[in-house]
Amino acid sequence: MKKFFVLLSCIFSITIAGIMFSQPKVQAAEKTYTIGTDVTFPPFVYANSNNKYVGIDMELIRAIAKEEGFKADIKPIGFNAAVQSLSSGQIDGVIAGMTITDERRQKFDFSTPYYQSGIVMAVAPKSKITSLKDLKGKRVAIKTGTSGADYANSIKDRYGFKTVTFDDSDNVYNDVKNGNSAACFDDSAVLNYGVKTGLGLKIVTKPTNTGKYGFAVQKGKNQELLSKFNQGLEKLKKNGKYDQIIEKYTGSAATSSKKKENKQKDADGHTFVGLLKQNKDALLEGVWETIELTVVSIICATVFGVLIGLLGVIPNKFSQGFSTTVIYIFRGLPLLVLALFIYNGVPSLTGSKIPAFIAGIITLTLNEGAYTAAFVKGGIEAVDTGQMEAARSLGLPFGKAMRRVILPQGLKIMVPSFINQFIITLKDTSILSIIGILELTQTGKIIIARNLEGFRIWTIIAVIYLVIITLLTLLSKWVERRIKD
């Protein structure tokens, strides 16, 4: 039994070590900063038809990095996740159309403002709403953590409307277009760009609560990066590059360029085949990331779960109590909460960064492993107690009786649960988009932010998930038959 535990522990350790060392290392000579952003926020940040991140913010940070001699590693994790990651020290800075406010100044240090924008309200094209007074008794869509959300929440009691919150802009706009919400609030620059390029909404109010955008770093940290940003921004303004960037994404050229892209989409007929051709590379990368997460997590969760499950059946009160506690904690925590705790909570306590991929593996290992441990423990306990008594009466020690008599019988009981857990692990990878892992779900969000084809893109992604799950199920069924035979 002791050898069995040693073997499982070695497999688990080797797997984790392989993950750690497979991550790309940054050479000491390189000065690379990790910058969080929200790629569903055009014209400041979005993915173009080649799935390259472009926009005012992206052009600025790249131009400044070039001027000041550093590299920017862009992490498309969404606005709310970016702010949380910056607070916990997981990333070095945030550039995502972030309005400088007194409240945010308490947690972050901001650069010199690089843009100024106000808050406007948008409604569906045929809506009769023309002012804030018309919102009484209605629902308004807002985006988590934004100035538009703060403004809407500050006036909702005065005008008698309710708010519903989303994590990305596309869902905010779609909620209005689908008629679920009467209106939405967002930055005037963002909504003006969207309306001009076919967003499908209309703006009915003038800009208010004008604010300034800034690049943010953690309070008291990364002052060198902040200084480089300010120096680079000043150089861009002097050499005219700054004005060129702003004009590129807010002037008439931006609108005409977007219209050409829309015409190309029309030529493809907005078809599933056309969308697949346009986004096949991004989708394949998302599929590969999902499969990689699933396979590694299944291996780690299985090893972890078997170890904890076996501890629960050893005739030792401490081992049984430890097993029960681990299963109780990690089965009880919602996966989303666990992911955010590991990725943002732990680094804020330890001061050490955890790569998103590693955080995702740990999250799935603990959560799925707890469920695995529960059915491993249950499978062993389901074997008739007389089997163990008979084995012991024949002179077999506990470990040998467990390995040769109980486990082979319990394994047949566990196999269906293992299969179900494999499928659940695959689906649970989608939750890891919250910490910025570019798996299939996060890839879909980025694509939709560009082409606004929510229904078709989500249909494609749903079919991809079903295909993968079907293949995984067939493989698992084959393994199950082999074991039973």
Q: List domains and CATH numbers for the chain.
A: 2-21+273-484 (1.10.3720.10), 31-114+214-266 (3.40.190.10), 116-212 (3.40.190.10)
pLDDT of residue 216: 96
Which range scores top for mean pLDDT: 202-216, 367-381, 434-448? 202-216
Buried b (16+ CB within 10 A) or exposed e, 40-78: bbbbbbbbeeebebbbbbbbbbbbbbebbebebebbbbb
Residue 404's pLDDT band (cuts 50, 70, 90):
low
Spatial distance between the Cα atoms of 363 and 297, rounded to a whole number of angstroms: 9
Q: Summarize pLDDT for 139-172 with one digit per residue, the tens.
A: 999 988 888 999 999 999 999 999 999 887 888 9
Record the tokens describing residue 154, joined without a space: 């500050």
pLDDT of residue 160: 95
Q: Name the pTM for this structure.
A: 0.72
Q: What is the mean pLDDT of the chain?
A: 82
Element (H, E) at 116: strand 115-123
Bin 38: left if φ > 0, else alpha if -120 < ψ < 50, else beta: beta
* Cβ-proximal residues to 132 (8 Å cutoff; 6+ apart), any chain: 121, 155, 159, 205
pLDDT of residue 151: 93
pLDDT of residue 159: 94
Is the CB of residue 289 less than 8 Å from the CB of residue 438?
yes
* Cβ-proximal residues to 93 (8 Å cutoff; 6+ apart), any chain: 33, 34, 35, 36, 86, 215, 216, 217, 222, 225, 226, 229
Spatial distance between the Cα atoms of 439 and 430, rounded to a whole number of angstroms: 7
User: In percent, how much of the chain has pLDDT > 70?
Assistant: 81
Residue 20's pLDDT band (cuts 50, 70, 90):
very low
Residue 22's pLDDT band (cuts 50, 70, 90):
very low
Is the CB of residue 185 less than 8 Å from the CB of residue 148?
yes
